[in-house]
Amino acid sequence: APSIAPFAGSVVLGLAFVYYYRLGGASERKGYWDAIGTLSDIVVWGTRKLKGEGFDGLKKEGAFAKLLAGVQQNFCNNVKVEDGIAMNQALMENLFVVLICILNKIPVFMVGKPGSSKTLTMQVIASNLQGKQSEIPFWRQFPAVYIFQYQCSPMSDSHSIQHQFDMAVRYQQHAENTITVLLLDEVGLAEHSPDMPLKVLHGMLVDPPVSVVGLSNWVLDPAKMNRAICLQRTEPSQTDIQLTGQRILSTSPGEGVDNKIIVRNLTPLLSPLAQAYHAIYTKQKGRDFVGMRDYY
- CA nearest neighbour of 185 among 162, 202, 161: 161
pLDDT classification of 163: cutoffs 50, 70, 90 = very high
pLDDT of 73 higher than 80? yes
Q: What is the pLDDT of residue 206?
A: 92
pLDDT of 70 higher than 90? yes
* Mean local confidence (pLDDT), 60-66: 88
Q: What is the pLDDT of residue 8?
A: 87
pLDDT classification of 49: cutoffs 50, 70, 90 = low
Distance of CA 81 to the CA centre of its chain: 15
Q: 10 Å Cβ neighbour count for 276?
A: 12
Q: What is the pLDDT of residue 285?
A: 84
Q: What is the pLDDT of residues 204-235, one digit of tens each?
A: 999 999 999 999 999 999 989 999 999 999 88
Residue with the larger pLDDT of the pair 199 and 253: 199
* Mean local confidence (pLDDT), 245-271: 79
The answer to whether 181 and 102 are in contact (CB under 8 A) is yes
Lowest mean pLDDT among 43-57, 205-219, 265-279: 43-57
Q: What is the pLDDT of residue 254?
A: 62
Q: What is the pLDDT of residue 204?
A: 93
Q: What is the pLDDT of residue 293?
A: 87
* Mean local confidence (pLDDT), 2-29: 91
Considering the entire predicted model, what is its pTM? 0.90
Lowest mean pLDDT among 21-25, 97-101, 208-212, 240-244: 240-244
Q: What is the pLDDT of residue 36?
A: 84
pLDDT of 46 higher than 80? no
Q: What is the pLDDT of residues 24-43, one digit of tens each?
A: 998 999 999 988 877 676 77
Lowest mean pLDDT among 50-64, 173-187, 276-290: 50-64
Phi, psi of 231 (to 5 degrees): -115, 110
Residue with the larger pLDDT of the pair 276 and 45: 276
pLDDT of 203 higher than 60? yes
Average pLDDT over all residues of the chain: 89
Q: Which residues contact 166 (CB under 8 A, 6 or more apart)?
A: none
